[in-house]
């Protein structure tokens, strides 16, 4: 076995508090004095209701309950922007929100960008053509922020793009390729190639 291969020979210990099921988990939460709530919202056009611990963040619920793991979690304290989703059209850091704060909201995640036929959204296409990302861990956040930017300002200057995306961090690219990708998306939109 190399250092890169996980050691699967030993069975990991199960914590005494490990939940056996969602019902067990919620019961444990109640027993510990926590609140259990029902939250309803729309995710990428799909109306959903979940019963969960009131203390859970929206990013956790999107990934674990909605099964939409395209929303990435990096810093978990509002710095990196990887967890950005749209809440009623506004870019929001889902790691800083409780799921209860999104009750009744329309949430758009990165999974909501592609066309119904599976084709990438024009912004995704532009980013691919510009080779905007390297590892792409930051990509979902940048793409959601870009979507909000271009909805509000269809022809941003480079300074406006940099300013608007300054809340998203990328540790690979130096940002120029991402800015190039946004400008590519702007050109495509202005040339009428966006359907
Ligand atoms: Fe939310 Fe970094 S994970 S801002
Ligand atoms: Fe790797 Fe941005 S491409 S963090």
CATH number of the domain where residue 146 is located = 1.10.150.120
Query: Side-chain half-sphere of 165: how many Cα atoms within 13 Å?
Result: 30
The residues lining ligand 2, judged by C-beta closer than 6 Å to any ligand atom, are 133-138, 170-173
The residues lining ligand 1, judged by C-beta closer than 6 Å to any ligand atom, are 73-76, 78-83, 93, 95
State how far the Cα of 58 lies from the Cα of 127, in Å rounded to an integer: 27
Residue 17 lies in a domain: no
Which ligand has an atom closest to residue 135 CA? 2
Q: Kindly state the tokens that stand for 81.
A: 């922007």
Query: 10 Å Cβ neighbour count for 186?
Result: 21
Of 31, 78, 29, 74, the C-alpha closest to 56 is 29
Residue 58 lies in a domain: yes
Q: Chain centroid to CA 182: how far?
A: 18
Mean pLDDT, the chain, integer: 90
- Kindly give the number of the ligand 1 atom that is closest to the alpha carbon of 75: 2
31 Cα–ligand 1 center, Å: 30
The preferred substitution site among 130, 137, 142, 167 for testing ligand 2, maximizing ligand atoms within 8 Å of CB, is 137
In three-state secondary structure terms, 47 is strand
pTM assigned to the model: 0.87
For residue 188, is pLDDT > 60? yes
| Span of 20-34, 62-76, 131-145 with lowest mean pLDDT | 20-34
Q: What is the DSSP letter of 161?
A: H
Cα 139 to Cα 9, 100, 111, 142: the distances in Å are 35, 26, 12, 5
47 Cα–ligand 2 center, Å: 32
Q: Are residues 46 and 74 in the same domain?
A: yes
For residue 51, is pLDDT > 60? yes
* Structural domain boundaries enclosing 166: 122-190
State how far the Cα of 168 lies from the Cα of 170, in Å rounded to an integer: 7
- Kindly give the number of the ligand 2 atom that is closest to the alpha carbon of 133: 3
Residue 9 lies in a domain: no
Domain boundary among 92, 112, 132: 112
pLDDT cut 90: percent of the chain above it: 84
Tens of pLDDT, residue by residue over 102-144, are: 999 999 999 999 998 999 999 999 999 999 999 999 999 999 9
- pLDDT confidence of residue 7: 45
Q: Kindly state the tokens that stand for 107.
A: 């949430």
Number of domains in the chain: 2
Handedness of CA 51, 52, 55, 61 (dihedral sign): negative
Residue nearest to atom 4 of ligand 1 (CA): 78
Q: Are residues 89 and 34 in the same domain?
A: yes
Domain boundary among 60, 85, 112: 112
Residue with the larger pLDDT of the pair 13 and 177: 177
What's the CATH code of the domain at 38? 3.10.20.30
What is the end-to-end Cα distance of the chain in Å, rounded? Answer: 51
108 near 85, Cβ under 8 Å?
A: yes
User: DSSP assignment of 113-142, as one string?
Assistant: TS-TTSPPPHHHHHHHHTT--SS-TTHHHH
For residue 26, is pLDDT > 60? yes
């Amino acid at each position: 076995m190399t250092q890169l291969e996980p050691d699967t020979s030993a069975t990991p210990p199960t914590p005494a508090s490990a939940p056996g099921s969602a019902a067990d988990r919620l019961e444990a939460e109640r027993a510990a004095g926590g609140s259990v709530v029902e939250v309803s919202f729309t995710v990428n056009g799909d109306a959903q209701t979940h019963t969960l611990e009131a203390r859970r963040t929206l990013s956790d619920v999107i990934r674990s309950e909605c099964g939409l793991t395209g929303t990435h979690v990096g810093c978990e304290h509002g710095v990196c922007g990887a967890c950005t989703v749209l809440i009623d059209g506004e870019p929001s850091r889902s790691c800083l929100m409780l799921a209860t704060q999104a009750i009744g909201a329309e949430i758009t995640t990165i999974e909501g960008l592609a066309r119904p036929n599976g084709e990438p959204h024009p912004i995704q296409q532009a980013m691919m053509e510009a080779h905007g990302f390297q590892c792409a861990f930051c990509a979902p956040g940048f793409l959601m922020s870009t979507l909000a930017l271009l909805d509000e300002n269809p022809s941003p200057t480079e300074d406006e793009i940099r300013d608007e995306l300054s809340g998203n961090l990328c540790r690979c690219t130096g940002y120029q390729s991402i800015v190039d990708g946004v400008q590519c998306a702007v050109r495509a939109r202005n040339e009428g190639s966006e359907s």
